[in-house]
């Protein structure tokens, strides 16, 4: 975002995280109760009042972040902005550094490409999707690696090939070389997609086999089930990262952890880099031992795949 959290905003950030979890619970609570779909009825409930309070809290935190960066930008000499073309994409840089996301949004606002409301929506998306989804994948990845020592050893071997005995931080070039770790993350998201369902509104009458879906229908795709189809994946319930090292044998839309099409996840490349960076950093220093078993997992309804009980692994420092 381009802003550093101070003590006040850090504490508010923790409240924001709790608010996101509560909001997800409230929305699911309403979705599964048809009579609450009517705003006139839902607005009379205690849940609606709590939801309104949380939305106000989330909005306040978002505005703190946006206003802080906007004020910082007022002090920057706009003549220091330079436009370059890199990899066939236009990149705006400041003093030879890429701008933060908010800086790009402010620039787009000046160009008339977005308004203040649009900026708020984009910031909400990044702040929510930027922590819950990656955290979900990472906890399942740690569990799967702990329960599959052969796979864990292969990741460590790959790290040794890339870093040798150095304890330096990973660079972009290093991350690009970690093909096996990339496959581990993809296989983790196949078994445990962080956003396990996608909803789309059909904009025209659509025939699906023997069914006709009229325009305006809300269509729900359950990615958790889609990713485990035996007609698409060999041994679909098994953790086999190697399947992502070969040419895909499955339909391209049978594996869509980041969704697909024009409304797919805008942050998927960043998320992959973030997860590879953290996993490689941990595995270079620690060995993971199993505590929680995949067979013992149970889940509860939310926007993001969550377990009813915490996932645990035992950590041992590598010599």
Residue 261 DSSP code: G
212 is annotated as contributing to ligand binding: no
DSSP letter for 222, please: E
Is residue 197 a contact partner of residue 223, using CB atoms and an 8 Å limit? yes
- Give the separation between CA 158 and CA 184, rounded to whole angstroms: 12
278, 256 contact by CB (below 8 A): no
Strands 313-317 vs 286-290: parallel, antiparallel or unpaired: antiparallel
CA distances from 79 to 83, 87, 94, 104, 112 (A): 11, 24, 9, 15, 19
List all residues 6 or more positions away from 314 whose beta carbon is below 8 Å from its beta carbon. 146, 288, 289, 290, 291
CA distance 25 to 42: 15
How many Cβ atoms are within 10 Å of 300's Cβ, its own excluded?
A: 10
Please, are residues 22 and 46 in contact by the beta-carbon 8 Å criterion?
no
Q: What angle do CA 243, 248, 250 make, to 5 degrees?
A: 105
Q: Residue 49's Cα: distance from chain center in Å?
A: 28
Dist CA 111 CA 119 (whole Å): 13
Torsion sign over Cα 107, 98, 259, 65: negative
Cβ–Cβ < 8 Å for 183, 278: no
Annotated binding site for heme: 265
Annotated binding site: 265
């Amino acid at each position: 975002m381009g802003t550093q959290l101070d003590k006040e905003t850090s504490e508010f950030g923790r409240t924001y995280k709790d608010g996101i979890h509560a909001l997800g619970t409230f929305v699911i609570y309403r979705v599964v109760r048809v009579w609450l779909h009517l705003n006139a009825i839902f607005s009379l409930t205690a849940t609606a009042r709590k939801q309104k309070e949380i939305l106000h809290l989330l909005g306040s935190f978002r505005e703190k972040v946006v206003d802080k960066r906007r004020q910082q930008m007022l002090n920057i000499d706009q003549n220091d902005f330079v436009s370059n073309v890199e990899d066939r994409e236009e990149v705006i840089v400041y003093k030879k550094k890429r701008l933060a996301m908010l800086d790009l949004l402010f620039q787009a606002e000046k160009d008339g490409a977005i308004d203040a409301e649009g900026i708020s929506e984009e910031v909400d998306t990044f702040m929510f999707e930027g922590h819950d989804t990656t955290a979900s994948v990472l906890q399942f990845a740690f569990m799967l690696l702990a329960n599959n020592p052969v796979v864990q050893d292969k990741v460590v071997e790959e790290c040794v090939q890339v870093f040798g005995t150095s304890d330096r931080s990973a660079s972009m070039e290093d991350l690009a070389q970690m093909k096996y770790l990339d496959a581990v993350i993809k296989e983790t998201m196949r078994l445990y997609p962080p956003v396990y369902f996608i909803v789309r509104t059909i904009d025209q009458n659509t025939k699906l086999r023997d069914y006709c879906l009229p325009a305006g229908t809300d269509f729900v795709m359950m990615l958790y089930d889609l990713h485990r189809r035996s007609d698409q994946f060999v041994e679909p319930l098994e953790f086999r990262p190697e399947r992502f090292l070969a040419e895909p044998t499955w339909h391209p839309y049978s594996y869509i952890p980041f969704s697909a099409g024009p409304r797919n996840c805008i942050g998927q490349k960043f998320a992959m880099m973030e997860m590879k960076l953290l996993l490689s950093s941990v595995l270079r220093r620690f060995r993971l031992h199993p505590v929680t078993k995949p067979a013992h997992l149970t889940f509860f309804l939310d926007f993001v795949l969550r377990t009813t009980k915490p996932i645990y692994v035992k950590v041992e420092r590598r010599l």
